[in-house]
């Protein structure tokens, strides 16, 4: 740190502070050291060749001063205190409506404790902030370079791993977080430029008490924002440096916070010197935008001539992702510990300052609300005039009494009327007398707090006192209503006469509902179409609005629209007033809602990336919503073209579902099928037969997609064959399919069984072999998953699937069975509409209906495998039939093959019961007895 500069521009101020310290502290000492040190910090910063511009985040005064200085100085390089890895995202701000937040996110961490995951860092940006002015200037001015110099997102957490770090909050030291986080930012670490707030609690309490304010945001607004709003550049800069140095010197000596603060300053100055050396830029042509707390730095690396002793550590292996997320004033206030409504009030103050001072702020080209410039951007001229030496502006500012603003009665009266109107809309019994009371109470509170002009905070207190009283009838209290009124959350509305023809037509056609559709909020509409047929056109229009408007604008509560069905009763939640902007934008696309919907359907169907499933959806919407056979035929022809050009089976399940539904509709509503759907079935049959062998072995194709292909082939087979298709094509496709994955193998077996190429007995034997092979048992659940998916193309296998699943539950060990259960549940859930009812119905038919019957119940598929216990009369009958069976073995062998038995004839030394004859006699004793009696009679 450099020593005290004597004889400089601030020597007179040092003498006055020395006298003040002697008078108030009974002699020079610690107080004099603090006061004189503050002046040294200010003088050191203003003498730096690289101009330091101290700011406070979300401060209108800082934003105005920033815009004014940028137009005066026209710097060629802007160094900004922001995480350097966020630089590529800043140009995307022009495509957003502020406020937004730049985010760095890492879900998997390497080099950090595992319990820290996920890591998230956000930097919110608002229009009423100095950094946005710097960003807009640098990005839209040719020849200007924007350089982010603060530590990276990775270093934010790297520097929190020291022994003194406290990771319970994971908060950036310059971004105190609120205890209650909002959903927009979550628990992310907040990074902002220039968080200027006392870190010495006693100092903040002293300022609030003597300033007669409730919180820090109000103190800053009253004693910094207003005095600096119209000040010149030198005065603003020196006052901000003074405040930053004061808060820095009076901050508690927390080793962790001091270490991180100083490392950040070393990091930034190191990056700036590296950039100056690499580009050869003149420091006089650059500007350094940082928080006032860091501007009054005393580290050895400070300045362009500082030491280069700081080493920047390499980033960790953690992979960071960057993006933009939406933000709001409330989210910023909650995350950074600001008073509710302070950011909104700052935005209002910014608009007033821009109008009052005449400063033309910077806005990114293309930003919402920005007029497109037709003049080409000119490069910056070279600076020719040297920078004037700094002069003392602090002395005059500190000695000058505050300028008292005259009471703006019109503004205060407008506030009072607006808050009463907002209170009435939210259920308060407010009247004109309350508006007068709020007006007078605001003036009274300002006078009690030594203010000539009531601030927004005085007005808020007065509104709460005069209107809210002791009860809140609605969701919002008066304090929140003031924040909304001040912060620009008010939403405009377009009158009926100014609406485009389409929007007026929508209101006219929905008039039979007797609702105030232009009113904001949700309204319930009840349509009893059975008793009031004139409401059916309203129903048709509401379903079209649901298709075109955002979610929530028209939401059905009761009733649905299906092909071939007529509506009876419906109930809707309508919020057309809230979504008026979306409705107006529909008017820019056509003169009627039907025209817009037809254009949207055509646009979706003819999009370059459109799939067959998406085009079929457009066909269904055209039939269901527009009832247009002409459009449906046109889009159906397009679906045929798209399907013929597809080379993947990704959309097979959706294609199958929609084609089934359209076929069912046309078969019941039309005398003959439309030509396009016949061609679609014929083309689809050949198309999927061609892709089937590849799909069985393609790793990218799922089992559900292959099952949907088979479902199309088997379900549409009769129609396809009647249209001229050849079944041999399907048989060849299955013969050429050689899957290796278990679930697809099971799916192929099911298809072969459906075609008759694989008997059920052989399929049952294959499953038994799988369960009997210890090496295959762990993969058996995957075979079962394939059989479950096979119910889509072959629903007749439901009894076999129940048998296979039951055998799995009976024989599979728990370590294999339990991990498979989630897969089975997810499979049934994904295809539950079609598959679950089949399994449940078949299981209900097979399993006993009462619990008492379960012990004696034998599954049907085991009746051929487990003979019943032998009875004495059965044994006698069997003995009588043995000579006959021995005399005619061919008959017995044929019957054993028919019933699915394998065995050999016993010999004299073979054990009893091993031959097919013995098995048959034990299973059917009465047949043997009857046959023996018949032969005896004859």
What would the DSSP string read from start to end of 641-673? HHHHH----TTHHHHHHHHHHHHHHHHHH-SS-
The reported pLDDT for the residue numbered 855 is: 77
- The residues with which 100 forms a beta bridge, in sequence order, are 125, 326
CB under 8 Å, gap of 24 or more: what pairs does 114-117 form? 116/157, 116/167, 116/170
Q: What rounded mean pLDDT belongs to the chain?
A: 77
| pLDDT of residue 543 exceeding 90 | yes
| Residue 556, helix vs strand vs coil | strand
In which band, very low, low, confident or very high, does the pLDDT at 26 lie, cut at 50, 70 and 90? very low
Closest CA to 794 of 855, 874, 711: 711
**Where is pLDDT greater, at 307 or 452?**
307
- The residues with which 124 forms a beta bridge, in sequence order, are 101
Distance of alpha carbon 172 from alpha carbon 644, whole angstroms: 57
β strands within 529-619, DSSP E? 554-558, 569-574
Residues 253-268: tens digit of each pLDDT: 667 777 888 888 888 8
CB under 8 Å, gap of 24 or more: what pairs does 273-277 form? 273/304, 273/306, 273/308, 275/77, 275/79, 275/147, 275/149, 276/50, 276/304
Closest CA to 216 of 200, 201, 197, 202: 197
- Mean pLDDT along residues 231-240: 81
In which band, very low, low, confident or very high, does the pLDDT at 883 lie, cut at 50, 70 and 90? low
Residues 154-206: tens digit of each pLDDT: 888 887 754 344 333 333 333 333 333 344 555 556 565 555 555 555 666 66
| pLDDT of residue 607 exceeding 70 | yes
The reported pLDDT for the residue numbered 779 is: 84
Check if the beta carbon of residue 896 is closer than 8 Å to that of residue 920.
Answer: yes
| pLDDT of residue 402 exceeding 80 | no
Q: Which residues contact 528 (CB under 8 A, 6 or more apart)?
A: 535, 569
Q: Is the dihedral of CA 135, 137, 142, 148 positive or negative?
A: negative
Q: Which residues contact 203 (CB under 8 A, 6 or more apart)?
A: 247, 250
- Mean pLDDT along residues 841-849: 82
Residues 512-530: tens digit of each pLDDT: 998 888 787 899 999 988 8
The reported pLDDT for the residue numbered 262 is: 83
The reported pLDDT for the residue numbered 107 is: 65
- Mean pLDDT along residues 455-463: 83
- Mean pLDDT along residues 856-883: 58
* The pairing of beta strand 51-55 with beta strand 286-291: parallel
- Mean pLDDT along residues 693-710: 88
- Mean pLDDT along residues 93-99: 75
**Considering only 428-442, 480-494, 553-567, 752-766, which range has the smallest mean pLDDT?**
480-494
Q: Which residues contact 359 (CB under 8 A, 6 or more apart)?
A: 64, 67, 68, 71, 353
| pLDDT of residue 936 exceeding 70 | no
- Mean pLDDT along residues 910-922: 55
Distances 11 to 15, 399, 469 between C-alpha atoms, Å:
6, 16, 55
- Mean pLDDT along residues 611-625: 91
Residues 267-300: tens digit of each pLDDT: 888 888 888 889 888 888 899 988 888 887 888 8
- Mean pLDDT along residues 557-576: 88
- Mean pLDDT along residues 225-237: 76
| pLDDT of residue 662 exceeding 80 | yes
Q: What's the pTM?
A: 0.50
What is the chain's length?
Answer: 938
**Where is pLDDT greater, at 5 or 636?**
636
The reported pLDDT for the residue numbered 393 is: 62
- Angle between the N-to-C axes of helices 478-486 and 456-463, in degrees from 0 to 180, rounded to the nearest 10: 150
Q: List, edge to edge, every strand of the sheet that includes 523-528.
A: 523-528, 569-574, 554-558
Residues 736-777: tens digit of each pLDDT: 989 888 889 999 999 999 888 888 888 888 888 888 888 888
């Amino acid at each position: 740190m450099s020593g005290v500069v004597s004889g400089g521009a601030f020597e007179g101020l040092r003498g006055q502070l020395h006298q003040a310290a002697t008078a108030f502290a009974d002699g020079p000492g610690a107080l004099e050291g603090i006061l004189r040190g503050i002046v040294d910090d200010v003088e050191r910063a203003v003498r730096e060749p690289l101009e330091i511009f101290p700011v406070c985040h979300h401060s209108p005064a800082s934003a105005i001063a920033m815009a004014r200085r940028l137009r005066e100085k026209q710097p060629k390089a802007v160094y900004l205190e922001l995480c350097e890895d966020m630089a590529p995202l800043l140009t995307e701000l022009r495509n957003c409506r502020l406020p937004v937040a730049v985010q760095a996110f890492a879900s998997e961490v390497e080099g950090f404790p595992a319990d820290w995951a996920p890591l998230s860092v956000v930097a919110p940006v608002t229009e009423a902030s100095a950094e946005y002015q710097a960003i807009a200037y640098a990005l839209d001015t040719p020849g200007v370079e924007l350089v982010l110099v603060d530590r990276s997102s990775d270093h934010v957490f790297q520097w929190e791993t020291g022994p003194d770090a406290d990771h319970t909050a994971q908060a950036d030291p310059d971004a105190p977080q609120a205890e209650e986080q909002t959903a927009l930012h979550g628990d992310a670490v907040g990074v902002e430029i220039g968080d200027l707030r006392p870190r010495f609690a006693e100092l903040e309490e002293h300022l609030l008490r003597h300033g007669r304010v409730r919180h820090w945001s109000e103190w800053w607004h009253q004693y910094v924002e207003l005095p600096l709003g119209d000040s010149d550049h030198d005065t603003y800069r020196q006052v901000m440096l003074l405040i930053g140095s004061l808060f820095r010197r009076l901050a508690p000596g927390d080793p962790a916070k001091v270490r991180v603060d100083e490392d950040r300053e070393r990091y930034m100055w190191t990056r700036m010197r590296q950039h100056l050396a690499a580009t050869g830029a003149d420091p006089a042509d650059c500007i350094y935008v940082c928080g006032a707390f860091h501007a009054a730095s005393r580290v050895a690396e400070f300045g362009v001539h500082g030491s280069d002793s700081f080493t920047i550590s390499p980033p960790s292996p953690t992979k960071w992702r960057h993006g933009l997320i939406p933000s709001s004033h409330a989210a910023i206030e909650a995350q950074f510990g600001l008073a509710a409504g302070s950011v909104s009030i700052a935005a209002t103050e910014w608009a007033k300052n821009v109008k009052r001072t005449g400063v033309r702020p910077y806005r990114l080209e293309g930003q919402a609300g920005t007029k497109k410039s037709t003049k080409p951007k000119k490069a910056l001229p070279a600076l020719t005039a040297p920078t004037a030496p700094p002069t003392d502006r602090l002395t005059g500012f500190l000695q000058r009494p505050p300028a008292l603003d005259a009471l703006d009665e019109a503004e205060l009266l407008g506030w009072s009327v607006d808050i009463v109107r907002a209170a009435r809309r939210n259920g308060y019994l407010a009247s004109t007398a309350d508006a007068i009371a709020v007006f007078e109470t605001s003036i009274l509170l300002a006078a009690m707090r030594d203010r000539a002009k009531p601030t927004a905070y005085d007005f808020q207190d007065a509104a709460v006192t005069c209107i809210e009283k002791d009860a809140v009838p609605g969701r919002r209290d008066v304090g929140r209503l003031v924040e909304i009124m001040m912060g620009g959350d008010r939403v405009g509305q377009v009158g009926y006469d100014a609406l485009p023809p389409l929007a007026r037509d929508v209101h006219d056609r929905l008039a039979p509902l007797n609702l105030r559709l232009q009113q904001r909020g949700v309204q319930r509409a009840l349509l009893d179409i059975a008793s009031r047929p004139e409401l059916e056109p309203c129903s048709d229009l509401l379903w079209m609005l649901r298709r075109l408007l955002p979610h929530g604008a028209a939401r059905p509560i009761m009733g649905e629209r299906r092909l071939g069905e007529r509506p009876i009763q419906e109930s809707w939640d309508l919020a057309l007033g809230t979504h008026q902007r979306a409705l107006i934008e529909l008017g820019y696309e056509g003169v009627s809602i039907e025209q817009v919907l037809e254009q949207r359907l055509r646009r979706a169907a003819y999009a370059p990336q459109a799939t067959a499933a998406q085009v079929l959806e457009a066909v269904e919407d055209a039939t269901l919503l527009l009832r247009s056979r002409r459009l449906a035929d046109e889009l159906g022809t397009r679906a045929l073209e798209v399907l013929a050009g597809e080379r993947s089976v990704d959309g097979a399940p959706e294609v199958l579902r929609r084609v089934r539904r359209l076929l069912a509709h046309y078969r019941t509503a039309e005398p003959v099928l439309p030509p396009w759907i016949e061609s679609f079935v014929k083309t689809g049959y050949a198309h999927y037969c061609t892709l089937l062998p590849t799909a069985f072995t393609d790793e990218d194709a799922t089992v559900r997609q292959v099952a949907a292909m088979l479902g199309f082939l088997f379900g549409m087979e009769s129609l396809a064959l009647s249209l001229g298709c050849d079944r041999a094509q399907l048989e060849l496709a299955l013969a050429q399919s050689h899957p290796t994955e278990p679930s697809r193998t099971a799916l192929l077996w099911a298809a072969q069984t459906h075609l008759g190429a694989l008997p059920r007995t052989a399929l049952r034997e294959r499953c038994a072999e799988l369960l009997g092979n210890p090496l295959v048992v762990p993969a058996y659940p995957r075979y079962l998953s394939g059989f479950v998916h096979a119910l889509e193309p072959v629903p007749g296998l439901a009894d076999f699937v129940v048998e296979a699943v039951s055998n799995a539950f009976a024989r599979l060990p728990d370590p294999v069975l339990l991990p498979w259960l989630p897969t089975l549940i997810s499979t049934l859930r994904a295809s539950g509409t079609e598959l679950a009812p089949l399994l449940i119905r078949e299981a209900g038919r097979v399993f006993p209906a009462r619990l008492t019957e379960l012990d004696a119940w034998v599954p049907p598929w085991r009746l051929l495998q487990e003979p019943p216990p032998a009875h004495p009369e059965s044994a006698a009958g069997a003995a009588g039939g043995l000579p006959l069976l021995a005399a005619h073995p061919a008959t017995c062998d044929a019957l054993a093959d028919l019933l699915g038995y394998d065995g050999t004839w016993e010999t004299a030394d073979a054990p009893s019961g091993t031959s097919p004859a013995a098995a048959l006699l034990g299973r059917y004793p009465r047949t043997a007895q009857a046959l023996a009696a018949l032969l005896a009679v004859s």
